[in-house]
């Protein structure tokens, strides 16, 4: 296997969270390369960023509606990118151990959209922002949505933080209230967007626990945009219909998944046996 084939194989085995992290890293590097080219050609650099970052000015936003998502792929500096991607990597891994890729995608991008809308509405409603329209960039709203989602769905699960084990529900509360209390001290719009993403993640997890996927409508939209339906004619051989055994196996499988998820909710992910973890992981990939 040559280097190119090896690289393609590695990319193919990335999780959806890791692929998203890679895209964010590329979006961080490419503008720097473009700026170098613009500098050498004496072209004003950075003007194109106005077409990617999210403006709180509604009149500007309605002429650039795509910025409600594109802003999340732009970061102001290396540590801004690093912190977001580290949190996305760990929280995304926890989420993908339990759910298929579509739940991650729905949760992340609905968090980005919700955070962006909260940002715009905040500048329209709160007097403190009157007359100022700083743009917003960064994936934090989407990252917070994923993080708070998993903190809400498996609140009793413990993870290692330095020398201590901490339950996810406590970490989620700390992150949320840190954003709340930092609003008066700078980047107020950004912190409000984080709160918007966190609320989306919390609500998504609570509704999913009750058997309702609030991202299903959004899922139909992005699938219709990015995945063309392949119409195939399937010819079934004549014979007996599928036996009830197949249906019963499917029901039993779902019951087992529900039992495992209940156990996680009550006692945390670490309370599962190895067989239960393997079963849940394989089920989530199907």
pLDDT band at 257 (very low <50, low <70, confident <90, very high): confident
Alpha-carbon separation of residue 92 from 6, 85, 160, 218, 221 (angstroms): 24, 10, 16, 19, 22
* Eight-state DSSP code of residue 195: H
pLDDT at 285: 52
| The Cα angle at residue 258 between residues 254 and 260, in degrees rounded to 5 | 115
Least trusted range by pLDDT, from 18-27, 40-49, 190-199, 254-263? 254-263
pLDDT at 243: 53
pTM: 0.78
Rounded CA separation 34/21 (Å) = 20
Within the chain, all domains assigned CATH 1.20.1540.10 are found at 3-225
- Please state whether beta strands 164-167 and 158-161 pair in parallel, antiparallel, or not at all (unpaired): antiparallel
Question: 88 versus 233: which is more confidently predicted?
Answer: 88
Question: 87 versus 32: which is more confidently predicted?
Answer: 87
pLDDT digits (tens, 9 = 90+) for 268-278: 666 777 777 77
pLDDT at 142: 97
pLDDT band at 225 (very low <50, low <70, confident <90, very high): confident
| 255, pLDDT greater than 80 | no
pLDDT at 123: 95
Rounded CA separation 8/21 (Å) = 16
Residue 93, phi then psi, degrees to nearest 5: -65, -40
What residue spans of 99-187 are helical by DSSP H?
101-125, 140-153, 168-182
Rounded CA separation 111/193 (Å) = 9
Task: From the options 1.10.1670.40, 1.20.1540.10, 1.10.10.10, 1.10.8.420, give the CATH code of 3-225.
Answer: 1.20.1540.10
pLDDT digits (tens, 9 = 90+) for 170-221: 999 999 999 999 999 999 999 999 999 999 999 999 999 999 999 999 999 9
State CA 119 to chain mean position distance.
18
Mean pLDDT, residues 211-232 = 81
């Amino acid at each position: 296997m040559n280097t190119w084939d090896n690289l393609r194989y590695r990319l193919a085995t990335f999780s959806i969270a890791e692929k998203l992290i890679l895209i964010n890293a590329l979006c961080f590097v490419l503008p720097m390369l473009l700026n170098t080219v613009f500098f050498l050609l004496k072209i004003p650099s950075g003007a194109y960023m106005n077409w990617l970052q999210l403006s709180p000015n509604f009149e500007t936003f309605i002429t650039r509606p795509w910025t409600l998502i594109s802003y999340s792929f732009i970061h102001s500096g290396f540590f801004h990118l690093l912190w977001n991607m580290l949190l996305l990597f760990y929280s995304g891994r926890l989420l993908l151990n339990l759910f298929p890729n579509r739940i991650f995608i729905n949760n992340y991008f609905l968090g980005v959209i919700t955070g962006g809308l909260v940002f715009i509405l905040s500048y329209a409603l709160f007097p403190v922002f009157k007359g100022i329209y700083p743009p917003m960039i960064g994936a934090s709203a989407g990252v917070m949505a994923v993080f708070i989602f998993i903190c809400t769905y498996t609140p009793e699960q413990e993870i290692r933080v330095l020398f201590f084990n901490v339950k996810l529900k406590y970490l989620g509360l700390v992150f949320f209230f840190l954003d709340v209390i930092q609003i008066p001290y700078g980047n107020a719009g950004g912190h409000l967007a984080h709160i918007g993403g966190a609320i989306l993640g919390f609500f998504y997890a609570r509704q999913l626990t009750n058997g309702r996927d609030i991202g299903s409508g959004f899922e139909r939209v992005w699938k219709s945009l990015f995945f063309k339906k392949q119409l195939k004619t399937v010819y079934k051989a004549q014979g007996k219909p599928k036996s009830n055994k197949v249906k019963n196996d499917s029901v039993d499988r779902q019951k087992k998944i529900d039992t495992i998820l209940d156990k996680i909710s009550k006692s945390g992910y670490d309370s599962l046996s190895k067989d239960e973890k393997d079963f849940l992981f394989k089920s989530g990939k199907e």
